[in-house]
Amino acid sequence: MDKIAQDILVRFEARIDAIADEIADATITEVAAFGPMTDERLRTEVRALARGQLDGFLAATRAGTRPGPAMLQAVRDRATTRARQLVPLAAMLHSFMIAQRVISAAITREAGHGARARGAALTLTALTFDYNIAVTTAMADAYVEAVQGDTARTERQTFVVSLGSELLAVLDARRPGQPRAVLHRTATQLLHTDSVPLRAGIGTPFTGIARLHDSYHAARRALRHATPERPLLQAPGDLRLFDELTASRGDDAGQLIPPALRETLADPQLRQTLQAWVDHDLNVAATAKALCMHPNSVRYRLRRIAQLTGHDPHHLTDLLELHSAARLLSQAPG
């Protein structure tokens, strides 16, 4: 490689982070299959993959070799993962072509306008095509192998990916009860002790990657309402309208709670009594039994709530106001 080409690569490497950003932004914007996936972590992942490919291209070009075995294996592993994530092969090919376009443009930009420099840029661009053909071929082969392997099985394996503290699973909804059965088996395998509580939300059934976005957000909505008493919820059937209406969405709704209600419901005994009163259908005897206290003590606490807030728990509209305020305050941060 002559000195002009080496100088172009030096300038290219100096801008490698910006080039990786450009590849990631163009991929997320232009590849239709990535459109429904609005999670910022996807962009971070694509950007990291682009940076890895750029480093591999520089190393191979300077050494005058093809992509190394480690690089090709990394490409194959990623293709297998994408196949099991139901990302279309066309989307994968499109993303590789975007990277090729951005890299070629960056080399041309760093070459400038001199005739010799532009000739060196053409030579380097040809090398980028050789490199890209090698990694694209490895990607496509691994993708097809993964798809054919899954198709050959009598039952497609469950796809599960880790999203920080969450696990996202794509389950077969064609057989009744199958998603719940898989989640139960997963929980059994994950839990080595009873000290780790697990909760799960099941989204709406879907076909095609474009509908994954809607199903994922439905599952997140169900997960938001899961509790130790109701650890597995499926949207929309298992969700309660009141729970969704009072779900915390910032401080906007919380700011509507009058100070008297806020101060009164800060008392854990009064808040506990109010919740038990609702849970036991406004029945004094049942509420007292649940709280292990005398019915007169329940009546006293209910009167105390009415005196402090101006809202009588015996009146439906007042009770709804109290219960809604308590729910919003229980979800407030801190």
Question: Rounded distance, CA 22 to CA 131, Å?
Answer: 19
Same domain? For 299 and 266 the reply is yes
Given 103, 123, 152, the domain boundary residue is 152
Position 158 scores a pLDDT of: 58
Position 19 scores a pLDDT of: 94
Cα torsion angle, 76, 77, 81, 84, sign: positive
Question: Rounded distance, CA 238 to CA 222, Å?
Answer: 8
Same domain? For 179 and 316 the reply is no
67 pLDDT band, cuts 50/70/90, is confident
Given 152, 173, 199, the domain boundary residue is 152
Instruction: Answer yes or no: pTM beyond 0.85.
Output: no
Mean pLDDT of all residues in 278-288: 92
Q: Give the residue numbers spanning the domain of 218.
A: 159-239
Same domain? For 186 and 221 the reply is yes
Which residues in 125-238 belong to E strands, given as ranges? 159-163, 166-170, 200-202, 232-234
Say if 119 falls within a structural domain.
Answer: yes
Q: Is the pLDDT of residue 259 over 70?
A: yes
Q: Total domain count for the chain? A: 3
Say if 171 falls within a structural domain.
Answer: yes
- What proportion of the chain, given as a percentage, has pLDDT over 90? 33
Q: Is the pLDDT of residue 12 over 70?
A: yes
Mean pLDDT of all residues in 85-105: 88
Position 7 scores a pLDDT of: 92
What's the CATH code of the domain at 66?
Answer: 1.10.490.10
Say if 249 falls within a structural domain.
Answer: no
Average pLDDT, the chain: 82
| DSSP single-letter state for residue 20 | H
Q: Is the pLDDT of residue 154 over 60?
A: no
Per residue in 99-133, pLDDT (tens digit) is 999 999 999 999 888 888 989 999 999 999 999 89
Say if 248 falls within a structural domain.
Answer: no
Question: Rounded distance, CA 316 to CA 330, Å?
Answer: 21
Same domain? For 16 and 46 the reply is yes
Mean pLDDT of all residues in 147-165: 59
Position 164 scores a pLDDT of: 64
Cα torsion angle, 13, 18, 24, 26, sign: negative
Say if 315 falls within a structural domain.
Answer: yes
Say if 244 falls within a structural domain.
Answer: no
Per residue in 181-227, pLDDT (tens digit) is 766 666 665 554 455 677 888 888 887 666 777 888 888 888 878 87
Position 192 scores a pLDDT of: 47
Same domain? For 23 and 148 the reply is yes
Q: Is the pLDDT of residue 88 over 70?
A: yes
Cα torsion angle, 41, 46, 52, 55, sign: negative
Given 125, 152, 179, the domain boundary residue is 152
**Does residue 16 or residue 146 have the better pLDDT?**
16
C-beta of residue 222 within 8 angstroms of C-beta of residue 289 = no
Say if 270 falls within a structural domain.
Answer: yes
Q: How far is CA 109 from CA 12, 34, 121, 129, 283, in A?
A: 9, 28, 9, 17, 78
Say if 245 falls within a structural domain.
Answer: no
Token look-up 């036991």 returns 280
Same domain? For 9 and 147 the reply is yes
Same domain? For 212 and 195 the reply is yes
Per residue in 15-54, pLDDT (tens digit) is 999 999 999 999 988 887 776 555 677 788 889 989 999 9
Question: Rounded distance, CA 34 to CA 36, Å?
Answer: 6
Same domain? For 113 and 175 the reply is no
